[in-house]
Amino acid sequence: MAAGGKSFTYDIEKTEITIGRELKNDLVLDDPRVSRTHATVRKTGDGVILRDLESGNGTFINGARIEAQKDFILTAGDVIKLGSSTLTFSQADPFGTRLNSESFREVLQKNPDEVLVTSMLSEYSDSQEVPSIVYRHEIEKKDRILRLFYELSQKLGSLFSLDEIYEKVCDILLSVTPASRCFIFRKNDQGEFEQVAAKTRGKGEIGQPLPISQTIFRKVASERVSVLFDDSQNELEFSANSILSIQVQSVMAAPIIGPRGLLGIIYADRHDILDTFTVDDLDLLNTVAVHTSIAINTVVNYERLQKQAQARASFERFLPRQVVDQILKSPDAIRLGGVRQMVTALFADIRNFTSLSETRTPELIVNLLNRYFSMVSEIIFLHGGTLDKYIGDGLMALFGAPYVGELDATQAVRAAIEMQRAMVDFNLRLEAENLPPISIGIGINTGPAIVGYIGSETRLDYTAIGDTVNTAARLESVAQPGQIVISENTMQVLDESFPLKSLGTEKLKGKNVNLRVAEVLWK
């Protein structure tokens, strides 16, 4: 009930909502005693969590004020007081069904890896004579589990689709246990469980989610244990216009645990009025759960490696290898969209390339460009630069993107010097092939630019835009063959080890003022 006596119902459909007075909140309370953003409610695998965001008048649950910035797990019936508003928390059945499990009796609880820990032999002391039938039972049990291990390895090890794994696991579980139904739930990135497979004996796949015991489900999810319950009295009721009634006699469930935590849950129940699941059935379920985890982890790692390989192939086209390694190790460190940062832009262009193209075949020109670009691109990468793009017979490179460093300008100039020196040997090889020599002019400028993934939804390019980049391009256009021209901004961050020759001031195209420029001497 909100302030003013108004009553309403709010369904929490999102993973996380905010509650407060401002309109930007998901749940808006028109209450002056409620803070602008008062609290958050978050759905997790452990339940629904409320957190007070250091509100002015506090948040009260069942009459007690909760500590700010601390998680509080809500239970059905909790009364939440925010200012003059009162909220009552009720938890709906997420599957649209209801299974009353209050009368279920817990038979056994085990860790998933305790496949053969429970043994009838433990009931006998060393001095007691163990009946031969007990030994026979234990041997047969071990034989069944070992055979199941082999079968699971064979059938799941060759699958590289999660959907195929889930379907195969249900088939196997129904074949090795007397389960009437099998469900598999996957924990998604938001911490919620979603049904990904469901089969019933003799009828195949279940088209819609069917009732399960939420109490047992939550126990397995929160405690990471496999459990066996039975109940000869419980009735299962559908809440959505169904006349079907199923008598659940026994339930067992096991967590699917991977290296990074809970991956999901396998849940099975039995409807035979004359019998229930046994301890051996729970061991078989645990065996299936362990191998399911291995199979899922294999597929997830395979998909991750595939994506990394594709990303590496894409990134290495324009980023140095060490930067690619950093991006793949910490992908969140790179922000999508443009960010403003200091960069040094380098432009290089082949001089008199048009006249060369007019006197040589296209095949020869393409081969010449490929050899030239391969050589200079490797030099850029060795000095920590990012190859932005090829522009005809020219190129653009960035130093300080995506990661800014103190020596970005220095590395750019060193790369330019090495590029010019490499052209000497390159031309000697051209001369040996009876080809004319080529020369390049290079322009470098340092300053702020917008750097990032820029473009449209269908085409993104990693690049830099701004006056800094435009000025570097203008400097390259005035550079003579074999010359490296740098701006005053770049001069200011270089140390004395670089010999420079002042070129005075230059009136660049598109600039209102003359810029002081210099040539880097490299011979």
Element (H, E) at 473: helix 467-478
| DSSP one-letter string for 222-277 | HH--EEEEE-SS--EEESSS---EE---EEEEEEEEETTEEEEEEEEEE--TT---
Identify the H or E element spanning 378: helix 362-382
- Cβ atoms of 59 and 39 closer than 8 Å: yes
Confidence at 371, pLDDT banded by 50, 70, 90 = very high
pLDDT at 317 (0 to 100): 66
Q: Provide the pLDDT confidence category of residue 170 given band limits of 50, 70 and 90.
A: confident
Burial of residue 448, with CB atoms counted within 10 A of its CB: 0-12 exposed, 13-18 middle, 19 or more buried: middle
pLDDT band at 378 (very low <50, low <70, confident <90, very high): very high
Question: Which of 268-272, 489-493, 519-523 has the least mean pLDDT?
Answer: 268-272
For the chain, percent of residues with pLDDT exceeding 90: 30
Over range 356-380, report the average pLDDT. 88
Please tell me whether the peptide bond between 402 and the residue prior to it is cis, using omega within 30 degrees of 0: yes
Q: Which residue has the higher pLDDT, 289 or 322?
A: 289
pLDDT for res 239 = 33
pLDDT of 90 above 50: yes
Confidence of residue 205 (pLDDT cuts 50, 70, 90): low
Q: Measured in whole angstroms, how far is the alpha carbon of residue 223 from the centre of its chain?
A: 25
For the entire predicted model, the pTM comes to: 0.47
The answer to whether residue 191 scores a pLDDT higher than 90 is: no
Instruction: Name all contacts of 388-394 with Cβ < 8 Å and 24+ positions apart.
Output: 388/318, 388/462, 388/463, 388/464, 389/318, 389/461, 389/463, 391/349, 392/353, 393/349, 393/350, 393/353, 393/369, 394/347, 394/348, 394/349, 394/350, 394/476
Among 215-224, 249-258, 329-338, 427-436, name the one with the lowest average pLDDT: 329-338
pLDDT category at 96 given cuts 50, 70, 90 is: very low
Q: Residue 436: which pLDDT band, with cuts at 50, 70 and 90?
A: confident
Which residues are registered as beta bridge partners of 500? 520
The reported pLDDT for the residue numbered 7 is: 65
Any idea which of 42-46, 110-114, 496-500 has the lowest mean pLDDT? 110-114
3-class state of residue 446 by DSSP: strand
Alpha carbon 468 to chain centroid, angstroms: 34
Residue with the bigger pLDDT between 367 and 155: it is 367
Whole-number Å distance between alpha carbons of 322 and 316:
10
Query: What is the phi-psi region of residue 96: left when phi exceeds 0, alpha when psi lies from -120 to 50, beta otherwise?
Result: left
Say if residue 67's pLDDT is above 80: yes
Residue in the structure block whose two tokens are 């497979």: 197
Lowest mean pLDDT among 49-53, 133-137, 267-271: 133-137
**What is the rounded average pLDDT of the residues 95-117?**
53
Average of per-residue pLDDT values in the chain: 79
Q: What is the pLDDT of residue 425?
A: 94
Q: Decide: 110 and 118 in contact? Cβ < 8 Å.
A: yes
pLDDT for 361 equals 85
Q: Which pLDDT score is estimated for 477?
A: 92
